[in-house]
Amino acid sequence: MSGGIDSTVSAMLLLEQGYEVVGVTFRTYDSIKESCIAKEKGCCSIESIMEAKHNAEQMGFDHHIVDFRKTFKQCVIQNFMDEYMAGRTPNPCVLCNSHIKWGELMRVADEYGCDYIATGHYARIAERDGHVYLRTAVDTRKDQTYFLWMLTEEQLRRTIFPLGEYTKDQVREIARQHGYVKLAEKRESQEICFIPNDDYRAFLRANVPDYNERVHAGEYVDAQGNVLGHHEGYVNYTIGQRKGLGIALGHPAYVTHIDAEHNRITLGTNDDMYATELKFRPLRSRNLDISTSRLTAKVRYRSKAVEVKSTITNDQSQISSLIFSEPIWGITPGQSVVLYQDDLVVGGGIII
């Protein structure tokens, strides 16, 4: 329970369905800044933790606060820093869901004698031929399966998604009907929970021990390697970035490639941002041969799912390629590619 509307309404629905509910809120990172509290970011403020406890008490069930800060730092934050320092753009929510919100929380569930864990994610679970799959939510605008693809079948068998059949508007209405008017109107944050003020660059400067030795000015180049100018250090840029480059080329320029080893940033046009193929390291496959299945794939949360024309797997390198039926904009190393068959998640991996 984050103190937000989704987990609170999930608890309401579970109680109405007759479940015995135990509330758990976990601390993952200490970042209690004024801006954080003002934006009511549910993952980080003490106020939100206390609000979750208050909501649980109002609904009449036990609530526990558990400390996952050490594991979160070792797993999620360290990976975040390592990936950026390697010139990639990580998605910490994917790792957090797999290792913290399910991995660690499943252990806590066992300690409290709970058969299932439930969250406020917008997703569903489906069973096919004796296997359990992640299924997209009814509210396609809020569907969060992209962030949940790393969950194992064992984890899914012990998971309940109370909001999977509801739209966000319906969830807000349920909160209002139960007297949680302020909660229903609380705005959401899309920021990373442990990044103060949504400034990942400042976070890296403050937390990477050898940052100053590794990050310094370097060259902007074009696709042919011609030097165009100079940048402020490769970690300050992401694939597809157009603003804040500090260079004028007479046309809109985009970051198309980041070479961390040589501290070099490649710039190109918007057309250069499109590609029809990506390579990825598969980490999860759901009980079917993805090389022969009709698939679609998403390469970022807000992107549409694009039809996969073919898949190629190199058994020696354990690296797979996806070839798409149409060009995709801004394929980014470090991000997840999630594979779907109709509305089921059937695989995924990290783009390389």
Class of domain 273-351: mainly beta
pLDDT(290) > 60: no
Give 291's pLDDT tier (boundaries 50, 70, 90): low
pLDDT at residue 29, rounded to an integer: 83
Could you say which of 43, 75, 93, 96 is catalytic? 96
DSSP labels, 234-291: GGG--TT--TT-----SS--EEEEEETTTTEEEEE-GGGGEEEEEEEEEEEE-SS-TT
Q: What is the pLDDT of residues 140-196, one digit of tens each?
A: 999 999 999 999 999 999 999 999 999 999 999 999 999 998 888 877 767 788 898
Class of domain 5-197: alpha beta
Q: What is the pLDDT of residues 40-53, one digit of tens each?
A: 444 456 788 899 99
Which amino acid is it at 253? A
Intra-chain end-to-end CA distance of the chain, in Å: 34
Domain ranges of the chain: 5-197, 216-268, 273-351
How many percent of the chain have pLDDT more than 90? Answer: 78
Instruction: At 275, list the tokens.
Output: 């590609």
Q: What is the 3-state secondary structure (H, E, C) of 179-248?
A: CCHHHHCCCCCCCCCCCHHHCHHHHHHHHCCCHHHHCCCEEEECCCCCEEEEECCHHHCCCCCCCCCCCC
pLDDT at residue 147, rounded to an integer: 97
Sign for the CA dihedral angle at 321, 275, 225, 247 comes to negative
pLDDT at residue 39, rounded to an integer: 45
Q: What is the pLDDT of residues 200-256, one digit of tens each?
A: 999 999 999 999 999 999 999 999 999 999 999 999 999 999 999 999 999 999 999
> CB–CB of 115/22 below 8 Å?
no
Instruction: At 167, list the tokens.
Output: 């739209």
Sign for the CA dihedral angle at 204, 210, 212, 216 comes to negative
Active site residue 114: no
Task: Note the pTM of the prediction, 2 decimals.
Answer: 0.91
The correct answer on CATH 2.30.30.280 for the domain covering 216-268 is yes
pLDDT(22) > 90: yes
